[in-house]
Amino acid sequence: MEKPFVYVTRALPEEQLSSLKEAAHIEMWEKEDEPCPRAVLLEKAKTAAGLLTMLSDRIDSELLSEARQLKVVANLAVGYDNIDVEAAKKHRVICCNTPGVLTESTADLTFALLMAASRRIIEASDWIKQGRWTGWGPLLLAGADVHHKTIGIVGMGSIGRAVARRAKGFGMKILYHNRSRSQEAEAELGAVYTSFPQLLEQSDFVVCLTPLTNETNHLFNRSAFQKMKRTAIFINASRGQVVDEADLYEALVNKEIRGAGLDVFAEEPISKDHPLVSLPQVTALPHIGSATNETREAMMRLCAENIALVLGGEPARTEL
């Protein structure tokens, strides 16, 4: 009996797909750091029983209507705003993501970004590399303290709670806003639930970890930035579209907030000419929230396992 066909939209280490090798014939897009072209994805999907996808791959009605043998899509991410889940359900396609395995690594990066932005770490490193360090000054590259400040977390899911645990170690007061109260965060960490405006007004660090939805699109806009302290630092490690980037730029240029640390952008990848990148008070990273060898490999294995389970008639481990 011929094995079902699975298409993987980036070049991944074959050893991380071992659980899938016996269940399917696997083909991969040949490049690791470039998205699979839309035309190629559409063509491969026509005969695929499974797709292992990235956030850059749109799984929409156009693709699903042509993918008549498709049974499962496994997204190499926790977020799945690139997938039309309702359309997939209509076509009886199971969709999966990778929750849990990347929580701690993403929290590490989020807090590292907060610290880098507050203490001007990248700027200070560049200062030496550019040969600009010619002497010591009492306010040379002075940043902002992190310890005992107030952190406001927007989106108190598993990653939000993990960031809050790190904040607690720095003696920070923890505020949060979420669609629903997190009894776990309140009991374990002493986190205090507030309204969104209250969080903006009271926080020294505003950390965005909310998923992208119709309600959160451009949640951080001019009105939001104007509510923040002028000394506040904004951190985004969720989705770029949650932020109105033009409004963030204006807030930074007009010194309505102190700085920003950004791991995500509305359109990715961005160029060195992106307006936000030109600002010294912006610490910008290329969407590396979960980018450790251990975590990315675990995500790959989970995607492969989910596809293998569904093709074998079993429930996926992390079905949406």
pLDDT at 1 over 80: no
Q: How confident is the model at residue 142 (pLDDT cuts 50, 70, 90)?
A: very high
Q: How far apart are the first and last CA of the chain?
A: 30
Per-residue model confidence (pLDDT) at position 234: 98
Per-residue model confidence (pLDDT) at position 158: 95
Per-residue model confidence (pLDDT) at position 75: 98
Q: How confident is the model at residue 290 (pLDDT cuts 50, 70, 90)?
A: very high
Average pLDDT over residues 6-33: 95
3 state SS of 84: coil
More confident residue, 1 or 189: 189
Q: How confident is the model at residue 74 (pLDDT cuts 50, 70, 90)?
A: very high
Average pLDDT over residues 83-110: 97
User: What phi and psi values does residue 138 have, to the nearest 5 degrees?
Assistant: -65, -25
- Contact between residue 93 and residue 71 where contact means Cβ atoms under 8 Å apart: yes
Q: How confident is the model at residue 105 (pLDDT cuts 50, 70, 90)?
A: very high
Per-residue model confidence (pLDDT) at position 31: 93
With a pLDDT cut of 90, the percent of the chain lying above it is 98
Verify whether residue 239 is a known catalytic residue: yes
Per-residue model confidence (pLDDT) at position 123: 94
3 state SS of 223: helix
The strand ranges marked E within the chain are: 5-8, 25-28, 50-53, 72-75, 94-96, 150-154, 173-177, 192-193, 205-208, 233-236, 259-262, 282-284
Verify whether residue 120 is a known catalytic residue: no
- At 237, the amino acid letter reads A
- At 59, the amino acid letter reads I
pLDDT at 21 over 90: yes
Domain 5-101+293-311 in this protein, CATH class: alpha beta
Candidates 27, 5, 16; CA nearest to 301 is 16
Average pLDDT over residues 304-318: 97
Q: Tell me the C-alpha distance between 294 and 160, whole Å.
A: 21
What b/e readout covers 28-63, taking b as 16+ CB neighbours within 10 angstroms?
Answer: bbeeeeebbeeeebeebbeebbbbbbebbbebeeeb
Of 27, 268, 294, 314, which one is the catalytic site residue? 268
Chain region(s) in the chain for CATH 3.40.50.720: 5-101+293-311, 103-284
Per-residue model confidence (pLDDT) at position 86: 96
Of 91, 287, 297, 319, which one is the catalytic site residue? 287
pLDDT at 200 over 80: yes
Summarised one tens digit per residue, pLDDT across range 154-183 is 999 999 999 999 999 999 999 999 999 999
Instruction: Say which CATH architecture domain 103-284 belongs to.
Output: 3-Layer(aba) Sandwich (3.40)
Q: How confident is the model at residue 117 (pLDDT cuts 50, 70, 90)?
A: very high
Per-residue model confidence (pLDDT) at position 57: 97
Verify whether residue 274 is a known catalytic residue: no
DSSP assigned state of 66: H
